[in-house]
A = this chain, B = another copy of it.
Amino acid sequence: MPKPLILVVNDDGITAPGIRALVEAVKNLGEVVVVAPDSPQSGMGHAITINKPLRLTKAHVFDDIDVASYHCSGTPADCVKIAVDKVMHRHPDLCVSGINHGSNSSINVLYSGTMSAAVEASLEGIPAVGFSLLDYRLDADFNAAAYIAKVISEQILKNGLPKATLLNVNIPKLSKEEIKGIKICRQAVAKWEEEYLQRQDPYGRDYYWLTGNFVNHDHGTDTDEWALANGYVSVVPVQYDLTAHHGIAHINQTWTLD
């Protein structure tokens, strides 16, 4: 039986410390190929590139640990698409995305390039998972997160995932010893309360910076926010069927359409 084929991608770009930690975490689990953006792509959501062509270039970022790598001029979702079509010599057994510098818990999943890469892989029929560490710093300590990434990747390779389901894994900013365990959770109901900071450029024209506070309105103890606040790794099974199935009957009953 051939070794599992593992695609590694991220949204912080191929030179980010987080992707190196992830590559090192999974490199002994199979044959690893990295296809990652050539520049940071945070907040890109599920953007894809359609109005301009992409570049794909053989890189040598992980030659020191004997892992093949490519960088791509597109978004995280583009990286997965072009990896599947042009780089991988067979269907990958796993796609791991990250380790993101910063949280993708709760509704942050919607804005996340890390998670969109994993969604794209899942659309392609590849078991997929995104990992994010709750530490934005470039020099964050990825030791515990890398250990968690290895444990969860092993579970996926061994047990698979439910159909059309991928995983959103967030890791608290704690040492391996401080982490209490891994909880399978639901996405917390939370929101960003945004405020744009207004400034003037040297020519007297206004410009705006996005700022905001993340507010968790969800008091459940089965959510990712609860797990992270209480020292656990959160694992949310994610689907890309966005249908609000309960809404179908509701609308049929309340609307008057002829």
Do the beta carbons of A81 and B210 come within 8 Å of each other?
A: yes
Shortest distance between the CB of A218 and any CB in chain B (Å): 11
Q: A82-B196, A207-B55, A248-B186 are in contact. Are A45 and B43 (CB under 8 A)?
A: no
Shortest distance between the CB of A198 and any CB in chain B (Å): 8
Do the beta carbons of B251 and A237 come within 8 Å of each other?
A: yes
Do the beta carbons of B244 and A248 come within 8 Å of each other?
A: no
Determine how many copies of this chain the complex contains: 2
Do the beta carbons of B155 and A256 come within 8 Å of each other?
A: yes
Q: Which of A18-26, A27-35, A107-115 interfaces with chain B?
A: A107-115
Do the beta carbons of B48 and A210 come within 8 Å of each other?
A: yes
Nearest B residue to A248, CB-CB: B184
Do the beta carbons of A182 and B257 come within 8 Å of each other?
A: yes
- Number of residues of chain A lying within 8 A (CB) of chain B: 79
Interface residues of A in 47-79 (CB under 8 A from B): 47-51, 53-56, 77-78
A195 partner residues in chain B, CB cutoff 8 A: 85
Q: A251-B235, A257-B151 are in contact. Are A242 and B240 (CB under 8 A)?
A: yes
A42 partner residues in chain B, CB cutoff 8 A: 50-51
Interface residues of A in 232-252 (CB under 8 A from B): 235-248, 250-252
Shortest distance between the CB of A64 and any CB in chain B (Å): 26
A–B complex contacts, Cβ < 8 Å, 22 sampled: A44-B47, A45-B45, A45-B48, A48-B111, A50-B210, A53-B209, A54-B209, A55-B205, A55-B208, A82-B196, A82-B208, A107-B123, A124-B191, A161-B247, A162-B246, A185-B248, A186-B245, A237-B243, A237-B244, A237-B245, A237-B248, A239-B244
Given contacts A85-B196, A86-B198, A165-B247, 5 further A-B contacts (CB under 8 A): A43-B49, A50-B210, A187-B242, A235-B251, A237-B248
9 tightest A-B CB contacts, nearest first: A237-B247, A45-B46, A239-B244, A53-B207, A237-B244, A45-B45, A186-B243, A47-B47, A45-B47
